[in-house]
Amino acid sequence: MLVARGAGGRPVLVDRPDLVDHPRVAFAAAVRDELRVLGRADPGRRDVVIVSRGLAGLTELSLEIQPSRRGHGAAGNLVADALTSVPAGEIVVAAVSPGNAASLRALLGAGFTPVGSMQLFRRA
């Protein structure tokens, strides 16, 4: 698990209700509360950000970059932009799957700090 503080300010991303069918959103909905689905204003962009209430009621950030845009710094920019949607100074956590080096680099580059690890269990 990684932690950062919200940047606050003028949000760069917009609400994207058209992305609620995205698999990343479906997963987040199964394990988190109070989901807000965000993305770029361009409806052709399928990059998705989910800001939700997670472990211990903390604000949690998750995201996914559309495959054609991966590997070009898009994730780091998206994380930084997502933090503008969270009030300045608010603690934000994000989880990275083991082996997902690209997500880890994006989060570290946006100012997140590793604080520990956790296992997510849920009923089948």
Query: DSSP 3-state helix, strand, coil percentages of the chain (rounded to 5)?
Result: 30, 25, 45
- pLDDT by residue (tens digit) across 44-85? 889 999 999 988 899 999 998 888 778 777 888 889 999 999
Structural contact between residues 64 and 25, judged by C-beta atoms closer than 8 angstroms: no
Which domains can be identified in the chain, with CATH numbers?
2-114 (3.40.630)
What is the predicted pLDDT for the residue at 86?
92
DSSP classification of residue 56: G
Of 102, 100, 92, 85, the C-alpha closest to 39 is 85
The whole-model pTM stands at: 0.86
- The closest of 8, 91, 79 to 49, measured between CA atoms, is 79
